[in-house]
């Protein structure tokens, strides 16, 4: 079964059986439930929802199904067409809309797609709201509009430009120094909408852009998750072009990773660390990331006198804790920058602009910048789920075994050792168990991950 219903939206593979995959019937079912939920939030005469998509091959099909379902409910739709997740998030309040839907499966391969659901603030729904939509979908008691009350679709292709203007207007984005630095950058847009938005932003900042896989065809040239092992071509081009650095984003442009001038990864985890370093140097305060993120953010935050706290995994959980702690910047270690001065959503455009501002100020190479941060190494591994695997039981057994260590159980099990940590959890977006570890060397992190994979295997067989 590859239809996953979680706080990260309704996600599945295209085709197959209804209810087991993301089929047209499932797309209509969950779009209908979302439309009913929208109407339940407030009693008014006209409702409006913003819809955009990444460049996946299935995107146009799923978007048309979703939009026509909404107008069938009497809800007006603003069609952004090819867009980015953060662009849709910004567009919702700018349109004074009642919600938004992004059609994207983020970092998942091309056979996947998803409905990511937003509230009237342009923020992801929380667990309670998501549960209501799932309940509406299962009940199936949905009343559609009569012919005189159908909604209308309005196309608006201006929002990527409006998003870029919003980023350039942020007080900490130093446009003139960036222009004067005359950076040269290679951009890997993984043949999705990042190939549209990121080069446009860079060109507005006077950056010399070399495009790699920036045609929004939806034919991903490599695994779209922005990890070292998928980016050999970007590494090669950065060196060949003698670029200052490389940029890669995921298909919906909410995750961001950098590559230094030598073609070496800056470290996906260190995207947030660097942006936080820059923001905290101007506006000291608190930070938040999720439990699977590097300790380096804690170290940088404390350097500026702030307090760091970790949330459960999932953007909505990070945002909730950010609001509670009144943080100045936060996000996720997977390259997701959340900057409240802009909006409460992961935004690669904001991350690029803050990183460029930091580089222009520091006047140093990206490899030199990386050396200024605490050096931690992470291992990110996974175990495919099978129907006979009792994940909850396995995690309970591990929790008991390590009860004398520092444990956190708000999201799976995280064990903090003095010089390392391991986080074991069931993914919200894939049928897998994630095993994340961090230590003082790569070999230690990998060894720790392999140790726990072996423990899980032994428990499952016992």
Q: Return the active site residues.
A: 106
> Hunting for tokens 């695994």 — which residue is that?
223
The full 3-state SS of 156-175, as one line of letters, equals: CCCHHHHHHHHHHCCCCCCH
Query: Nearest 5°: phi and psi at 141?
Result: -85, 80
Distance of CA 111 to the CA centre of its chain: 18
Distance CA 230, CA 376 (A): 21
Distance CA 250, CA 23 (A): 23
Quote the strand ranges of 312-419, DSSP E: 329-332, 336-338, 377-384, 406-408, 413-417
Name 4's bridge partners: 11
Burial tier of 396 (Cβ tally within 10 Å: 0-12, 13-18, 19+): middle
Distance CA 337, CA 355 (A): 11
- Asked if residue 345 lies in contact with residue 122, where contact means CB atoms within 8 angstroms, the answer is yes
The interaxial angle of helices 348-362 and 269-282, nearest 10 deg, is 60
Half-sphere exposure of 392 (CA within 13 A, CB side): 1
CB atoms within 10 A of CB 347: 29
What is the SS3 assignment for 155? strand
């Amino acid at each position: 079964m590859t239809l996953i219903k979680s706080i990260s939206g309704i996600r599945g593979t295209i085709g197959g059986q209804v209810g087991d995959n993301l089929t047209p019937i499932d797309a209509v079912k969950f779009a209908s439930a979302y439309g009913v939920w929208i109407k339940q939030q407030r009693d008014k005469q006209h409702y409006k929802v913003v819809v955009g998509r990444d460049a996946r091959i299935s995107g146009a099909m799923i978007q048309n199904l979703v939009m026509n379902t909404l107008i069938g409910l009497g809800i007006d739709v603003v069609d952004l067409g090819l867009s980015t997740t953060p662009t849709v998030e910004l567009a919702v309040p700018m349109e004074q809309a009642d919600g938004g839907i992004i059609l994207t499966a983020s970092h998942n391969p091309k056979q996947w797609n998803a409905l990511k659901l937003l509230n009237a603030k342009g923020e992801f729904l929380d667990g309670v709201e998501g549960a209501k939509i799932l309940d509406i979908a299962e009940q199936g008691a949905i009343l559609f509009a009569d012919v005189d009350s159908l909604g209308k679709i309005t196309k608006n292709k201006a929002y990527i430009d409006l998003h870029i203007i919003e980023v350039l207007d942020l007080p900490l984005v130093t446009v003139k120094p960036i222009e004067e630095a005359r950076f040269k950058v290679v951009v890997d847009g993984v043949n999705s909408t990042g190939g549209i938005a990121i080069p446009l932003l860079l060109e507005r900042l006077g950056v010399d852009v070399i495009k790699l896989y920036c045609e929004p065809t939806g034919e991903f040239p490599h695994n779209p998750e922005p990890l070292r092992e998928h980016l050999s071509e970007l590494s090669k081009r950065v060196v060949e072009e003698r670029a200052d650095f490389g940029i890669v984003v995921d298909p919906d442009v909410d995750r961001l990773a950098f590559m230094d001038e030598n073609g070496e990864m800056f470290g996906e985890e260190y995207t947030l660390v660097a942006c936080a370093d820059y923001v905290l140097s101007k506006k000291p305060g608190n930070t938040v990331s999720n439990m699977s993120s590097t300790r380096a953010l804690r170290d940088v935050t404390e350097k500026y006198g702030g307090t760091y706290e970790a949330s459960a995994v999932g953007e909505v959980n990070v945002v909730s804790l950010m609001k509670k702690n009144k943080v100045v910047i936060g996000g996720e270690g997977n390259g997701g920058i959340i900057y409240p001065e802009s909006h409460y959503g992961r935004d690669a455009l904001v991350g690029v602009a803050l990183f460029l501002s930091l580089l222009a100020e520091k006047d140093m190479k990206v490899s030199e910048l990386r050396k200024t941060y605490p050096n931690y190494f992470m291992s990110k591994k996974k175990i495919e789920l099978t129907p006979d695997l009792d994940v909850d039981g396995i995690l309970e057994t591990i929790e008991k075994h390590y009860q004398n260590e520092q444990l956190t159980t708000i999201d799976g099990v995280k064990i903090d050792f003095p010089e390392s940590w391991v986080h074991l959890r069931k993914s919200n977006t894939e049928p897998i168990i994630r095993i994340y570890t961090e230590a003082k060397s790569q070999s230690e992190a990998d060894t720790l991950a392999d140790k726990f994979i072996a423990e899980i295997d032994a428990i499952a067989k016992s």
